[in-house]
Amino acid sequence: MRTRLVAPLLVLMTLTALASPTRASAQDYDDFAAYAALILTPIGGLVPLGPAAPTRGSAFVLRYGNLDSEGSALHNFSFGGDFAAGSGRLGLTLGGTTCDGCDGSVTAGLDYTVGLTRNVVAVALRPALGFSKPLEGDGTALSLGLSLPIGVELSGATGPIFIPYLVPGFGYGRVSGGEDSESGTRTMLGGGFSVAGRQGIFAVHLGFQKVFIEDGEMTIGLGMSIGRRVSSSTPGGR
C-alpha cells in the first residue's frame, strides 16, 4: 500500500487488511481498496431498499448501517429523498460515517431505479454513485454500483404491505490520497424486509448489505420512509 493512502478515510481498510498480513497475501490491495470505498459510501455502507417502494409518491428516507470489523464499529447514517423521475425513481442521499479511532467523513449518493417487471414478483435495475471525504485530512472514496433488486409484495385486501427482497450487485471502488490511488471491483449481496401502511405514509426497512471479501463483515441496518402512496401502476422505487 502506498503510504499516502493511509489517511483517515482508510482507517477501516487498515484495520481489515493490515492487522492480518495473511489476508493481504490472499487478496491484493486493489480488492481492499474497492471494499473500503464501497462500505464507506452509501452503496455498501447502508441497507439497500427493495425494487418497489411502498411509498410510490415522493418520500423522505432515513437509513443507518452498522459494520463491526476487528473490534472497530463503523456507523453509516443518511437522510435523503426518493422521487419519481421519467420511467423510474431517483434517489438522493446525504450522510456521514463515524468509527472508533477516526474523525469521520461526509458521504453522498445518487441512484436511479427502473422497474423491469411489475407483477407480484418485482425486478428492477439500479445504477448508483457514491462519494465520501473525511472531515479531517486528505483523501476521497468513490464508488459505482449496479444492482438488481428482486422483491415480492405480500399483502391482502386490507392491512399492511410486506415486501421481502434480495439485491445482488456488483461494485467498483476507488480510494485516493495525495497523488496516489487504488481501485478494484467487488461483488455484493443485500436484502431485507419492508413493512408499510397501505397508504404508504410510513414504511420501515430492516436488512443487510454484504460486500464480498475474505473475512469481510456484513452491514446490518434499518431505514424509514415517510411519503405518499399513489396508484400501484406507478413505476417501482428504490
- Nearest one of 192, 222, 231, 194 to 46, comparing CA atoms: 222
pLDDT tens-digit map of 78-132: 999 988 888 888 999 999 998 877 778 899 999 999 989 877 788 999 999 999 9
Q: Which three cell numbers stand for residue 47?
A: 441497507
Summarised one tens digit per residue, pLDDT across range 45-76 is 999 988 865 445 688 999 999 998 666 788 99
Residue of 130, 141, 217 lying closest to 176 (CA atoms): 141
Region of residue 76 (left: phi > 0; alpha: psi -120 to 50; beta: else): beta
Nearest residue to 44 (alpha-carbon basis) of 35, 55, 52, 56 = 35
- What's the confidence (pLDDT) of residue 14? 46
| Amino acid type, 106 | V
Domains and CATH numbers, the chain: 3-227 (2.40.160.20)
- Could you tell me what percent of the chain has a pLDDT over 70? 78
Model-level pTM?
0.84
Q: Would you state the pLDDT for residue 147?
A: 97
Q: Considering just the CA atoms, what is the radius of gyration of the chain in Å? A: 18
* pLDDT computed for residue 32 by the predictor: 85
